[in-house]
Amino acid sequence: MQDKKAIRLTAAEMSSLWSQYMNDTALICMLTQFLENLEDEEVRPVIELALKTSNDNLIFLKELFQKEHFPVPVGFTNEDVISKKHKLFSDTFVLMYLRQMSILGMTASSMALGFVTREDIFAFHKEVLQSSVKLKYLSRELMLKQGTYVRPPFISIPDKVDFIDSQQFLAGFIGKKRPLTSIEITHLFINIQTNMIGKTLIVGFSQIAQNKEVINYLVRGKQLAQKHIDLFSEILKKYDLPAPMSWDTAVTDNTIPIFSDKLIMFHVSAMIAAGVGNYGVAMGASPRRDIALKYATLIPEIALYAEDGANILIKHSWLEEPPQTDDRNELIKKK
């Protein structure tokens, strides 16, 4: 019988494993620094769980890469943590950040489980998913206890089951607009919240970045995030629904470099990628034409910002190349 673990890695498996390695090395840098400056001891077990999970993931990934003769990515190291002794974000925000990372972890591992084939790779991503769920549970429970968890808006329970009998349900540009559906409310709320977390991170990063080009890029990102927050919040407020609170005050006044510009740009790029994905899902889940179009017009704006970030990463040789298919034409030329 064929050894199932000896089967070659598929492109899907390579991409999920490579991405997991890059994300875990970046997260370890962030969490190590957060842990060093922690003041709220209730948050410690949550950070330690996330840190242990990422370190365990790296042990598995390094062994697998070596066995498969797959070059171990450089990722991020201790060199990307310039100072461990200066606090940049409040412990409350760190907890919110960890909750957001758990959501991204659940999303990525769930997607990987849908595409990977090999049993050992499947088992790995299943374990990552379970760890992400546990992290989400712990962070949520502590936020509820501390009174910092912001729930999505409440709406009335429907009186009865009903069916849509008019295209007016889809309208949004001319005439009367129908109320928001619970699905549309959910996505608006999520996208406000993720933009707020992203904005707070960018505010902190802009204070400690060293390269002027990176600083300007971050300032632009802050303005972009605020624009999107205002747009989505305005839609909710039109229907007397609350928008999530802002966490700008969670950033300290520290300006001493803490993380490398390379790590900062990677983190911002990862947030942008997650944001584009969120907008795409929200657009597909929003039947009202005006709301769907709002997402459709914002995605190119984010994509352009992402491209400018990629150019900065390439310019400074900070962008590590993911696995690619063979260039057959180049192979032929070598003959």
pLDDT of 243 reads 83
Average pLDDT rounded to a whole number, residues 253-270: 97
CA dist., res. 205 & res. 264, Å (int): 7
Contact 126, 112 (CB under 8 A): no
Question: Can you give the pLDDT at residue 335?
Answer: 63
pLDDT of residue 245: 73
pLDDT at 328 over 70: no
pLDDT tens-digit series, residues 111-138: 999 999 999 999 999 999 999 999 999 9
Query: Exposed/middle/buried for 15, CB within 10 Å: 0-12, 13-18, 19+?
Result: middle
φ/ψ bin of 294: left (φ > 0), alpha (ψ from -120 to 50), beta (otherwise): alpha
- φ/ψ of residue 2, rounded to 5: -70, 135
**What is the rounded radius of gyration, in angstroms, for the C-alpha atoms of the chain?**
22
Domains of the chain as residue ranges with CATH: 9-146 (1.20.1260.10), 178-315 (1.20.1260.10)
Question: By C-alpha distance, which of 147, 148, 139, 150 is closest to 236?
Answer: 150
222-257 residue pLDDT tens: 999 999 999 999 999 999 998 887 766 689 999 999
Sign of torsion over alpha carbons 158, 161, 166, 167? positive
* Least confident range of 34-43, 45-54, 148-157, 170-179: 170-179
Distance CA 126, CA 207 (A): 38
The pTM assigned to this predicted structure is 0.91
Q: How far apart are CA 185 and CA 189, in angstroms?
A: 6
| pLDDT-derived band at 103, boundaries 50, 70, 90 | very high
Interval 309-321: pLDDT, tens = 999 999 999 999 9
Average confidence (pLDDT) over 30-45: 96
Q: How far is CA 198 from CA 36, 202, 233, 248, 296, in A?
A: 22, 6, 16, 10, 20
Contact 49, 138 (CB under 8 A): yes
The answer to whether the CB of 183 falls within 8 A of the CB of 286 is: yes
Work out the angle at residue 56's Cα, subtended by the Cα atoms of residues 113 and 80, and round it to the nearest 5 degrees.
105
* Confidence check: pLDDT of 331 > 70: no
Is the CB of residue 218 less than 8 Å from the CB of residue 202?
yes
Percent with pLDDT over 90 in the chain: 81
Please report the pLDDT score of residue 299 as a whole number: 94
pLDDT at position 1 over 50: no
Average pLDDT of the chain is: 92
- Burial pattern 36-64, b for ≥16 Cβ within 10 A else e, equals ebbeeeebeebbebbbebbeebbebbeeb
> Which neighbouring-strand residues pair with 251?
89
Q: What is the pLDDT of residues 163-219, one digit of tens each?
A: 877 766 676 556 678 889 999 999 999 999 999 999 999 999 999 999 999 999 999
